[in-house]
Every structure is written in structure tokens, then in C-alpha cells.
Amino acid sequence: MDLTEITKQFEQTASKIPSLGKTIKFKLTEGTVFIDSSGDTTVVTNEDKEADCTITTSLATINALRKGEMNPMMAMMSGKIKISGDMGLAMKLSSLIS
């Protein structure tokens, strides 16, 4: 899966979950996916803006998480995922990635 495909997948998934009232940025080695879930509708772009929660990782790690090949907690502990900002918001993201 490349950056365009993951952006599209996040768009589709985000449209099905209720607004989180916050913004999230996935800072990937391949680019950025910004999810603005602060309003009535969630908007997903590739803009690099400030966010309430920033998750730094790679597409390979996201793909492994999606396929169940990697445990999110182990990915964090091994440094494959770094989270800054609102940790509570990060914990709600499993529904967005799957």
C-alpha cells in the first residue's frame, strides 16, 4: 500500500466513525496524512499541519498492523511507532487503521 492508497483508506474509514473533536497527523517516512476530525465531517488530506496527536511511523508498520502481523504495543515499545501529543486520542485510532 502506498501513500495515496493509505490516504484513501483513512478517508473511507474516517467517514464511518463519529467525530473525535481533534486532529491527528500520521508522519510517515513516505509522506504525511492529516486527519481533521474536529468538525462535523472528517477531512483527510496530505497536508503537514499541527495536530493534537502526531504518530510517526512507516507505511510498512501500518500495513503490518492492519494485517495483524504486528501488535501496536510492541510496535511502540520497539520504536517502530512514536506518538506525541494526545495519547488518549492515539488509543482510539485502532478503528481507523483496521
Digit-coded pLDDT (tens) for 31-62: 999 999 998 889 999 999 999 999 999 999 99
Predicted pLDDT of residue 14: 84
* pTM of the predicted model over 0.85: yes
For residues 24-60, one letter each, b for 16 or more C-beta atoms within 10 angstroms of the residue's C-beta and e for the rest, the string is bbbbbeeebbbbbbeeeebebeeeeeebbbbbbbebe
